[in-house]
């Protein structure tokens, strides 16, 4: 898995940003070395030597047209060059979207998790985006509450998620892998735990994943899981979550139809294991204070039943 360095871009858009940054760093670094070098040179070359008095100052110069023209034109040319590089970098980092192009993916930021709708494919998931390698996908970034910001450094620029104002973002990964992202606009207590993962895979793997996501949830595979399903339907779970193929159709919290297929829970706060899910269900706000999901006051057996049910939702 990749740590998410913007210096290891996997899309042409992220590469444009990374190259612009490195080029600017190089140019500005050269200026830093030049100016610092000249200051140091002058400090030592013209320092007062032992035995020299006030009358031994070097020749004083007033005005030098050539130098003045040079240090005006030099920086001006540099600024124009940087401006040109920046404008071209911005165009490459954020190519125009044709008006008729429909989004492949709708990302809805919530406090504090990501809802992911695939409108063309007809399913919804959470916190884990899958994309086919080598294809240009269009994401529409929205918010359900406050301002958030979508950022997967290796895939490109940040894009704000603003209530009532959808923004568009190209995602064009050229290398398979798992890339980490996070919310990058402070949005409340759990801003830091609003992570997302982008799994980039071959078109075949992607199609297979999409086919599985489109299916209804699998039936409970054991008596305990069946008890969990019943509990889920009878408690408040059902008024916030969707599990396709059951009565649960609410869209307040994450869609759990294929919950067990995701690598993390709570938008990255814990790896998705039965032990972690039990910890989460026992009291979600102890794991992630400030979230919407309430403490359901479940006893240990009820937690075990729900874990058996939810971890069966591949």
Do residues 20 and 83 make contact, with C-beta atoms less than 8 angstroms apart? no
Element of type H or E holding 115: strand 113-118
Span from 129-137, 167-175, 180-188, 265-273 in contact with ligand CUA (CB under 6 A): 180-188
Q: Is 184 exposed, middle or buried (0-12, 13-18, 19+ CB in 10 A)?
A: middle
Least distance (Å) from ligand CUA to the CB of residue 127?
A: 12
| Angstrom distance (rounded) from CA 247 to CA 216 | 12
Span from 89-97, 183-191, 253-261, 268-276 in contact with ligand CUA (CB under 6 A): 183-191
Do residues 287 and 269 make contact, with C-beta atoms less than 8 angstroms apart? yes
Question: Taking CB under 6 A as the rule, which mask of x and - marks residues 128-167 in contact with ligand CUA?
Answer: --------------------x-------------------
Q: Which of residues 249-268 bind ligand CUA (CB under 6 A)?
A: none
Least distance (Å) from ligand CUA to the CB of residue 165?
A: 16
Span from 70-78, 182-190, 230-238, 293-301 in contact with ligand CUA (CB under 6 A): 182-190
Q: By CB under 6 A, name the one of 109, 196, 217, 248 that touches ligand CUA.
A: 109
Q: By CB under 6 A, name the one of 142, 185, 305, 311 that touches ligand CUA.
A: 185
Show the tokens assigned to 184: 């990058």
| Angstrom distance (rounded) from CA 256 to CA 297 | 20
Q: How far apart are the first and last CA of the chain?
A: 22
Interface with ligand CUA includes 183 (CB under 6 A)? yes
Interface with ligand CUA includes 269 (CB under 6 A)? no
Show the tokens assigned to 256: 């759990």
Our CB check for ligand CUA shows the closer of 117 and 191 to be: 191
Nearest to 151 by CA among 133, 175, 134, 167: 167
CA atoms within 13 A on the CB side of 92: 16
Interface with ligand CUA includes 107 (CB under 6 A)? no
Q: Which residues contact 64 (CB under 8 A, 6 or more apart)?
A: none
Interface with ligand CUA includes 187 (CB under 6 A)? yes
Interface residues with ligand CUA (CB under 6 A) are 109, 112, 148, 183, 185-187, 191, 194
């Amino acid at each position: 898995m990749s740590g998410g360095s913007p210096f290891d871009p996997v899309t042409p858009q992220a590469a444009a940003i990374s190259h612009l940054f490195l080029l600017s760093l190089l140019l500005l670094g050269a200026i830093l070395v030049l100016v610092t070098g000249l200051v140091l040179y002058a400090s030592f070359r013209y320092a007062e030597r032992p035995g020299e008095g006030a009358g031994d100052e070097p020749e004083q110069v007033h005005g030098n047209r050539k130098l003045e023209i040079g240090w005006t034109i030099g920086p001006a040319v540099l600024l124009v060059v940087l401006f040109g590089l920046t404008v071209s970098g911005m165009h490459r980092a954020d190519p125009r979207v044709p008006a008729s192009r429909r989004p492949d993916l709708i990302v809805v930021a919530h406090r504090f998790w990501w809802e992911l709708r695939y409108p063309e494919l007809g399913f919804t998931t959470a916190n884990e985006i899958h994309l086919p390698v080598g294809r240009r996908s269009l994401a529409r970034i929205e918010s359900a509450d406050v301002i958030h910001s979508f950022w997967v450094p290796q895939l490109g620029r940040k894009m704000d998620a603003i209530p009532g104002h959808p923004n568009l973002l190209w995602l064009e990964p050229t290398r398979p892998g798992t890339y980490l992202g996070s919310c990058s606009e402070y949005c409340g207590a759990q801003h830091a735990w609003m992570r997302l993962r982008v799994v980039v895979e071959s078109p075949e793997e992607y199609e297979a994943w999409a086919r599985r996501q489109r299916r209804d949830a699998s039936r409970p595979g054991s008596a305990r899981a069946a008890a969990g399903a019943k509990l889920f339907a009878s408690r408040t779970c059902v008024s916030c979550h969707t599990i396709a193929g059951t009565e649960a159709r609410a869209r307040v919290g994450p869609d759990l139809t294929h919950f067990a297929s995701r690598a993390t829970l709570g938008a990255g706060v814990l790896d998705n294991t039965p032990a972690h899910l039990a910890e989460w269900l026992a009291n979600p706000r102890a794991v992630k204070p400030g979230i919407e999901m309430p403490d359901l006051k479940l006893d240990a057996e009820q937690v075990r039943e729900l874990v058996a049910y939810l971890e069966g939702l591949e």
